[in-house]
């Protein structure tokens, strides 16, 4: 951990917050039931959480620069040219009305409307592992229309209302500007149904597989506008192929998959498809995706990208269970970003350790298999 901390140490203006950041990271990685201020303070021998709160609320350090360091570390440890960027959001249940961005709103994490904050995230996945590399706090209109309330929570007047799709674009653009190696982008239907997002990606020739709703419409090769579910319904039985989407928590994710080419004009060596995923046990359950990628893209390539979306769910789970992503007790806007960034750093460190151990195992397997 000391070596990893040294990578970000220069982002802290003084020795005290620099040392506290190391303690904080160690606490986030410790086997504690809860990783709130009191528990983290106790872990490092402090009687009160004042130091933890000061690190998150008042200390002089650049959380966005640390975010960039975390992203660069992830790229160094698990980066690959065929990497996949994944967008999604997750909820943080809260009490009261003072935490930045909190209100009663739908949380996919809870599966219902709750009093919560919503964070939007960008994850990076490759064959070597997965980790979170960027984050934004969603501020509902009820907040951005009340600038006095925003100021009380430390939200500057320059911070605008932005949709989760706009957050996704911001995070993708930062990854592009940083030359993060990736081949595809994926996200669930909350993002994929937004035609402006798909157009934004196509303008930049960014290959993507985005889930969408059954009533979303596309333009067919014959210039007709049709719903994606109606288009998939016209496919013959032999169009469906049973393909594994990889290992899940309950075994292999095996589905029937099919695709159909759309759009009358393909340009710049890129093509367009609608992809469908059908449940083996219940064929009436079909998920739909709008896809854009190199013309030589195969069905199994699209399946691989669609299935990679689960990597961000697994990242959320690991970050919350192992790194205290949702254990914070802060109300201020900037403090939220600071805690989340340090939790992302802890997750990146764990990801690097696991990638290294996996590589050792692969090396050992390769070496021993050469012997009789």
Tell me the pLDDT tens digit for each residue of 238-257. 999 999 987 766 678 899 99
- Model confidence band, residue 51 (pLDDT cutoffs 50, 70, 90): confident
Which 3 state secondary structure label does DSSP give 93? strand
- What is the percentage of the chain residues whose pLDDT exceeds 70? 95
- pLDDT at 371 (0 to 100): 29
Those residues whose C-beta lies under 8 Å from the C-beta of residue 292, and which sit 6 or more positions away, are 198, 201, 202, 206, 207, 208, 270, 271, 272, 273
Those residues whose C-beta lies under 8 Å from the C-beta of residue 175, and which sit 6 or more positions away, are 71, 85, 122, 124, 133, 134, 182
- Please name the helix (run of DSSP H) or strand (run of DSSP E) that holds residue 372, with its range, or none: none
- Residue 233 to residues 124, 236, 258, 275: CA-CA distances in angstroms? 33, 8, 11, 12
Provide φ and ψ at 236, rounded to 5°: -75, 165
Q: Using alpha carbons only, what angle is made at residue 121 by residues 78 and 80, rounded to the nearest 5 degrees? A: 20
* CA-wise closest residue to 129 among 364, 358, 360, 324: 358
Choice between 356 and 40, residue whose per-residue pLDDT is larger: 356
- pLDDT at 196 (0 to 100): 97
- pLDDT at 116 (0 to 100): 96
pLDDT at position 43 over 90: no
pLDDT at position 19 over 50: yes
The full DSSP string for 94-106 is --SS-STT-EEEE
Looking at the chain, which runs of residues are DSSP E strands? Answer: 84-93, 103-107, 112-126, 129-137, 184-187, 208-212, 217-219, 225-227, 241-248, 251-261, 270-278, 286-294
Q: For residue range 321-331, what is the model confidence (pLDDT) as tens digits?
A: 999 999 888 99
pLDDT at position 34 over 90: no
- Residue 340 to residues 28, 97, 191, 332: CA-CA distances in angstroms? 11, 20, 22, 12
* CA-wise closest residue to 353 among 22, 70, 77: 77
- pLDDT at 367 (0 to 100): 38
Q: What sections of 140-265 are H helices per DSSP? A: 141-144, 147-152, 164-177, 189-192, 195-203, 228-233
* CA-wise closest residue to 276 among 243, 310, 247, 313: 243
Where is average pLDDT lowest: 193-202, 207-216, 250-259?
250-259
- pLDDT at 248 (0 to 100): 67
pLDDT at position 362 over 70: no
- Model confidence band, residue 364 (pLDDT cutoffs 50, 70, 90): very low
Where is average pLDDT lowest: 130-134, 170-174, 303-307, 358-362?
358-362
- pLDDT at 36 (0 to 100): 76
pLDDT at position 45 over 80: no
* Ramachandran area for residue 32 (φ above 0: left; ψ -120 to 50: alpha; else beta): beta
Provide the angle, in degrees to the nearest 10, between the axes of the packed helices 310-323 and 333-369: 110
Question: Do you know the residue count of the chain?
Answer: 372
As a whole number, the mean pLDDT across the chain is 92
| Whether 96 contacts 195, CB under 8 Å | no
- Model confidence band, residue 217 (pLDDT cutoffs 50, 70, 90): very high
- Residue 84 to residues 72, 79, 125, 164, 183: CA-CA distances in angstroms? 15, 10, 5, 19, 6
Using DSSP bridges, classify how beta strands 184-187 and 208-212 pair: parallel, antiparallel or unpaired. parallel
Q: For residue range 54-67, what is the model confidence (pLDDT) as tens digits?
A: 899 999 999 999 99
């Amino acid at each position: 951990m000391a070596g990893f901390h040294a990578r970000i140490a220069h982002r802290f203006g003084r020795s005290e917050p620099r040392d506290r950041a190391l303690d904080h990271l160690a606490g986030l990685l410790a086997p504690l039931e809860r990783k709130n201020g009191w528990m983290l303070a106790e872990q490092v021998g402090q009687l009160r959480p004042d130091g933890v709160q000061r690190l998150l609320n008042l200390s002089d350090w650049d959380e966005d620069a640390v975010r960039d360091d975390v992203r660069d570390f992830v790229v160094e440890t698990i980066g690959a040219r065929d990497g996949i960027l994944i967008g999604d959001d997750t909820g943080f249940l809260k009490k009261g009305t003072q935490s930045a961005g909190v209100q009663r709103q739908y949380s996919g994490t809870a599966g219902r409307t709750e009093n919560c904050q919503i964070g939007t995230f960008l994850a990076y996945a490759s064959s070597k592992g997965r980790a979170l590399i960027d984050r934004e706090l969603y501020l509902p209109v009820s907040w951005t229309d009340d600038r006095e309330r925003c100021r009380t929570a430390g939200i500057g007047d320059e911070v605008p209302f932005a949709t989760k799709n706009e957050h996704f674009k911001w995070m993708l653009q930062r990854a592009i500007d940083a030359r993060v190696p990736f081949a595809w982008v994926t996200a669930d239907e909350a993002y994929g149904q937004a035609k402006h997002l798909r157009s934004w990606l196509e303008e930049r020739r960014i290959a993507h597989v985005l889930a969408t709703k059954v009533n979303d419409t596309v333009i067919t090769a014959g210039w007709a506008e049709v719903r994606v579910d109606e288009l998939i319904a016209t496919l013959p039985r032999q169009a469906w192929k049973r393909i594994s989407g990889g290992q899940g928590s309950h075994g292999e994710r095996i589905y029937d998959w099919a695709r159909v080419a759309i759009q009358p004009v393909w340009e710049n060596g890129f093509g367009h498809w609608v992809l469908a995923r059908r449940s083996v046990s219940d064929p009436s359950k079909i998920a739909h995706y709008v896809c854009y990628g190199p013309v030589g893209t195969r069905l199994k390539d699209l399946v691989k990208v669609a299935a990679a979306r689960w990597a961000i769910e697994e990242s959320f789970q690991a970050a919350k269970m192992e790194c205290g992503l949702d254990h914070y007790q802060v109300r201020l806007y900037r403090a939220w970003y600071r805690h989340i960034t340090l939790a992302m750093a802890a997750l990146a460190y764990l990801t690097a350790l696991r990638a290294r151990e996996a590589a050792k195992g692969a090396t050992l397997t390769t070496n021993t298999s050469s012997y009789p």
